[in-house]
Every structure is written in structure tokens, then in C-alpha cells.
Structure 1
Amino acid sequence: MTTTASKVAVERRAGALGALVTGVDLAAGIDDETFSVVRQAFLDHQVICLRGQENLTPAGQLEFAARWGTISIHPYVASLEGHPGLMRIYDPNPVTQTWHADTTHTARPPGITLLLARTIPPYGGDTMWSNIQRVYEDLSPGLRGTLDGLRAVHRGTELAASAGLSEQDVTVTHPVVIHHPVTGRPGLYVNGNYTARIDGWTDEESAPLLSFLYARVGRPEYVYRHHWRVGDLVIWDNRATQHAVVGDTAGAERTLHRVTIEGGEPA
């Protein structure tokens, strides 16, 4: 039976961002009206969790993801065999534990990510999201004015080099402040994984400003922390948030399936 909009409930989970969406069974399918309700919740809250999707198959996850846009293929991380665009995410590592937006070292980073929990440890492994639009809006007018005129150099991690990509392949510049393509809302677009320096500045000159901005991203008032359950499908806006994993699983198994949706050039 297809889920209808009348069954959907949206519950805010934190002050800055994040909502729980219930009453949706993606394995059974959802109609266009219900999808519109889910999409609006996503735009309103930047991060949403569709609980109870453990019956969704990899093919079903890809089918649902395609309703959000064109599925992106990661430039150097392999897809799950037979399911192009579906990646396995597992144990937390230093890259995932740093506040970041996904693959900002590409010219057109993903716009949206869908992450489905398959195996969750008995404790630990939460994921946190920060509202980078709120972070920007709360800066002083003077600093906002300075940032508005800057660009930053983004560069891929060592994993890109090990995959055979040259530095030129994984180095781009983006505005330090971008505007959301749907809402127009401005947000901070530098992160601790991929931003190397301010364009036209030296590393030494860039470091104090970037360190200050990174510290703001992780402040509790901007953060929603998600405690995973098997079957949680979390959808987040890569253009309005950054995320980081809490690496406290003590080696217990943690498996999630990720699909990303193509985005445009940040502007």
C-alpha cells in the first residue's frame, strides 16, 4: 500500500536543524503528494530522518534517491557491486570525524545525501550535523562583509592521491559564502577536511581565520546529534550543513549505505 501524505508527521529534534519524519514506508512506495511533504520538511530542517526503512532494498534506496535528482558517482570511492552510486560507509575514521561537507574538492559537490543505517553498534557512532547558514548569520556584520568577498581553495585528501588522481584533479576554488540554490539563504562554505587556504592568501595567513570559522561550526547551539537506529534513512542538505561522526564505537560493526545527489557549482 502506497504511503499517503495524511500519515506523515514531522517532529523538530533540535533548535538549529534536524527533524524526525514518521508515517512513511519507502519500501511500499510513496505518492507525489507525500514526497512533496518530505521534501518540504527537508528544506525546512536541513536534515531529516525517515525512521523505519529497514525493508528498503539497495535498489529501492537508489530508486527513491533518483526522485531527488541525478545520482552522483564518487570520484574515487567504489560503489557497492551491482548498485552504481550506492556506497558502503563503515567504521568512523579521522576524515569522517572532522566537520565537513561532502567532496567540496570537486567543481560540483553533491547537493543532497541519503544515508541508510544497516548495522548499528550497541553504543557510539552518532552523527552530528551543523547548520552552516545559522553559523554565518550569527557572525558580526563586519566579518560577514569580509567573507562575502573571499574564495577558498579546496583540495582532496590523501585517499584521492592513493586512487591515482593528481592534485590538479582534486583542487578547486569555491566562494567562502554560498547561497542555497532553492532558498537563497547564505551559508559558510569552508571545512576542516578539504579547505586548504583562502584563495590569494598564504597558508599561514589563512590559518587563524579558518580555525576560528571551524570552531564556530562545532558549537553546540548549531548542532543536531543523531543517535542511529537500524532502518533510519537520514537525508541532509550538503549545501546547508556540515557533519561529523563521533568515533566512539570501540571497533563494533557499523554499516550504512550512502547515495549522493549531484549539485551545482557553489555560488
Structure 2
Amino acid sequence: MEVRPLAGAVGAEVLGLDLAAGIDDFEFAAVRNALHSHGMICIRDQAAMTPEDQLAFAARWGRISIHPYVPSIEGYPGIMRIYDPNPITQTWHSDSTHMREPHAYTLLLARTLPEVGGDTMFASTVKAFESLSSGFRSVLRTLSAVHEGTDRAAAAGLDHESVVAVHPVVITHPSTGAEALFVNGNYVTRIEGWTPEESRPLLEYLYTVVGRPENTYRHRWHQGDLVIWDNRCTQHAVVGDANQAERVLHRVTVAGGVPA
């Protein structure tokens, strides 16, 4: 097993593993440490993994989370078929932050890829927070933000209160102790206690900081890439430039705790 950083802020590739054949606890601990060190990892050459393999590997990270309104692929509860870039996926975001306990990890396996396009951008919200002045960081630590589910949740008939959560603007990663920004353009509607109009300038500035090139990495997919990211310290956004060419990835998410 070899770990190679892919960018200065976030991302590393992991070589030399065959997850379909299985890895031992020592190797898994090394993979987990690599993810916590780099925020996002790509384990190369995993095209041989079956849906059963992906679910079994994801279960080693924690409890698999089944999406409340986007269906799983038939026969495999917990695996979502990702195929069409849309305004939601093309916005910098962390997965499902409107939940009281957002996802800790996401595992995305490349099944069918276009010849060009369809890359995914990743950003370190730890690096973004560290880039701010000490005074600004102190202010942000006192704030919380309201996260609300998208229109897709309402269209699926979910009660509004079930897809609303309030989380700190700055959270501490439970394993690494690193502080990270925890606001994103998909789900945050306002700062708690502020109006949306009052909140907008601050939030838009923070989103701009997250997306600065020095805080990001652009991942060009290869067949069999298994990309894993930590939703507590990264954000991601798909690049919608595949020109409607077929792009299919299988996603599994792992439940997390209450951000603090």
C-alpha cells in the first residue's frame, strides 16, 4: 500500500490495494488514517468490486445511511446511482447537512465514465478556516447556521421540520481535533438569529473562501476509482461538462454524529 498526496490542501491516492479480495485490520487502519490526514482519498483500480463488496467495505467505516427520499439501486439498500450533474451537485456542499446527524463519510465508486469531463472538485474546509484572520475565526466560532433540505425533500413529501437542523458554523473534527467551516450553499439558509438578507454577505464570502484554488483539488475520474471523503472537513462539487455523456457512479454514505 502506498499513499501519494494529490494536492497541497486536500486529497491523496492510495495504491496497491484490492478491496474485492479484502484487506486486513492493519491495512484498513492505514486507509482510515490516510483519509483523516488528507480529507479525501482515491483508492485506485477497484473496478472488480461488486455492490456487495462496496457495502461490506463501507460498513467497516460505520453504520450505512439510507437516503430518506432518493431510492437505492434495486437489491442493494444504501447504494445510490449517481448519474446526472444538476445545480445541487454542482454547488460546493457537504452531503445531507440538513440532517441532525449528517453523514461522516461518502464512498463513490466509478462504474461508467465519459471520455472527458465530469470531474469532481474537492475543497478543504479546514484549510479555508485556517486562512481567515484570528479575529474573524473567533467571531465565527460563536455562530450557528440553519440548514434546510432542498426542494427534492419537499417534493418527496417529507415534513419540513424533519429536514431542518442547526449546526455550528465552525465544527471540530472528532478524530483529528481540526476546526473546519461547516456552512454550504446547498443547505444553509441563514445564520441562526439573523435574517436571510443579513446572513447572505457573510455566507457568500465564506463560500468564496472554501472555493479558492489553493484550498481545492480537481479529481479526474478513472475507471474503478473508489473515492472516499470526509464530509466534516471537506466540500465537493461536480463539474458539469460531460455534455450528456454517460456517467454512472455508485454512492454509499456512512452516518455520523451531531456536529460540535
CA distance in 2, matches of 1:48, 1:218: 19
What is the identity, as a one-letter code, of the residue corresponding to 1:261? V
The answer to whether residue 25 in structure 2 is matched with residue 32 in structure 1 is yes
Q: Distance in 2 between matches of 1:68 and 1:116?
A: 16
TM-score where L is the length of structure 1: 0.96
2:243 match: 250
- Paired-residue identity, %: 62
Structure 2 counterparts to residues 95-134 of structure 1, below 5 A: 95-134=88-127
Q: 1:50 aligns with which of 40, 43, 46?
A: 43
Q: 1:3 matched to which residue of 2?
A: none
Match of 2:175 in 1: 182
- 2:159: which partner in 1? 166
Q: Which amino acid aligns with 2:252?
A: V
Q: 1:126-160 CA deviation, whole Å, 9 max, x = no partner?
A: 00110001101110111111110000000010000
* 1:1-53 per-position Cα deviation (integer Å, ceiling 9, x unaligned): xxxxxxx0110010001001000001111111111111111111110000000
2:183 and 2:35 map into 1 onto residues whose CA distance is 22
Match of 1:199?
192
Once residues 255 and 179 of structure 1 are traced to their aligned partners in structure 2, the CA distance between those partners, rounded to angstroms, is: 33
**Aligned residues, how many?**
260
Match of 2:169, as an amino acid? V
The Cα shift of 1:168 comes to 1.3
* Distance in 2 separating the partners of 1:203 and 1:62: 39
TM-fit CA distance, 1:76:
1.1
Deviation, structure 1 residue 259: 0.4
Correspondent of 2:232 among 227, 235, 239: 239
Q: Shift in Å at residue 218 of structure 1?
A: 0.7
Partner Cα separation in structure 2 for residue 235 and residue 246 of structure 1? 18
Alignment counterpart, residue 63 of structure 2, candidates 41, 65, 70: 70
CA distance in 2, matches of 1:138, 1:217: 10
Task: Determine the C-alpha separation between the residues in 2 that align with 1:266 and 1:33.
Answer: 28
Task: String of CA shifts for 1:80-126, please: whole Å, max 9, x gaps.
Answer: 11111111001211000000000000100000010000000011000
Matched, 1:141 2:100: no
Tell me the SS of whatever aligns to 1:111.
strand
The AA in structure 2 aligned to 1:152 is: A
The one-letter code matched in structure 2 to 1:227 is R
Q: Which consecutive segments of 4 or more residues in structure 1 shift more than 2 A?
A: none
Amino acid at match of 1:96: T
SS at match of 1:76: coil
1:166: Cα distance to partner?
2.1
Secondary structure, aligned partner of 2:84: coil
Unaligned runs of 5+ in 1: 1-7
SS of alignment partner, residue 103 of structure 2: coil
The residue that corresponds to 1:5 in the other structure is none
Alignment partner of 1:209 is 2:202: yes
How far apart, CA to CA, are the structure 1 residues paired with 2:107 and 2:145? Answer: 27
Q: Choose from 92, 104, 117 the match for 2:85.
A: 92
The residue that corresponds to 1:260 in the other structure is 253
Partner Cα separation in structure 2 for residue 207 and residue 142 of structure 1? 20
Q: TM-score under structure 2 normalisation?
A: 0.99
